[in-house]
Amino acid sequence: MNLRTSKIAVLIAAMGIAGTAFGQAEAIKPVKKDVEKQVEKIEKKLDQTGKDITKSIEKMKSAKKFEFGQAAPEFELIDSAGKKHVLSEYVAAGNVVVLEWFNPQCPAVIKHYNTEGTGTTLNIQKELANEKVVWLRINSGSEESKSSGKEYTEKVRKDWKIASPVLLDMDGKIGRKYGARVTPEMFIINREGVVAYHGAIDSDPSTRKVGEELWVRDAVRAVIAGETVEKPQTKAVGCSIKYAPEKKADAQD
């Protein structure tokens, strides 16, 4: 094959490749358009989700007190280890949030815990370990209460092998905002920042044994699945919360 023939062969081959590429390009055009449409839909959905979350956070911040089925009141609290927690930040991150009012000396609370870290609520948390669920315990006991205080609460948290935080609300502002009366008292907040469950942990009101029905666990599972909670409100039974005296300025908020 001489040089001229070789050039012609290369040219023909190049044309063939170009033709194939052109044909492939034409073939993938519909696919490309479909992908672009899907991307556009996803972008619009994400944009709408962002707007919805913003609205939810605004409602939480404007909520003055707890109302079932409405936006959960916003709060910012420090835990017994010194870390700050902001409720709206957990909601904005797409979490289901469980609030548990907590008093480590209350028999109704103690029945759900032990030093092996295998109590009721900790077992539920382990079951939900792969889900976006944040479990926050809140101690609203006053500074004078023997069942509260930073050092004591942190010691109990470690002794009971509670990995998640215990928040301190010693002035009682957040407990009063939620209307929490006893320990344990539960509130489950869905991904829209709305309270979807309020009440007891389980079906047995005694301090001796855990009930056969774990209402909190069932409610969290339903919220995660986007389903209606079968028993959205139950009666929380336990020890009354010993709040610090309410200041006049706080009462007016």
Residue 240 — φ and ψ, nearest 5°? -65, 140
* Torsion-angle region of 12 (φ positive above 0: left; ψ -120 to 50: alpha; else: beta): alpha
Per residue in 161-199, pLDDT tens?
Answer: 999 999 999 999 999 999 999 999 999 999 999 999 999
pTM over 0.85: no
What is the rounded CA–CA span in Å between residue 2 and residue 75?
A: 85
Q: Which of 18, 37, 62 is the last residue of a domain?
A: 62
26 has pLDDT over 70: no
Give the residue numbers spanning the domain of 9. 1-62
Domain CATH for 202: 3.40.30.10
* Confidence tier at 87 by pLDDT (50, 70, 90): very high
Coil/strand/helix, residue 144: coil
Task: Indicate if 10 and 68 belong to the same structural domain.
Answer: no
Same domain flag for 57 and 69:
no
- Rounded average pLDDT over 143-147: 79
pLDDT over 90 at 13, yes or no: no
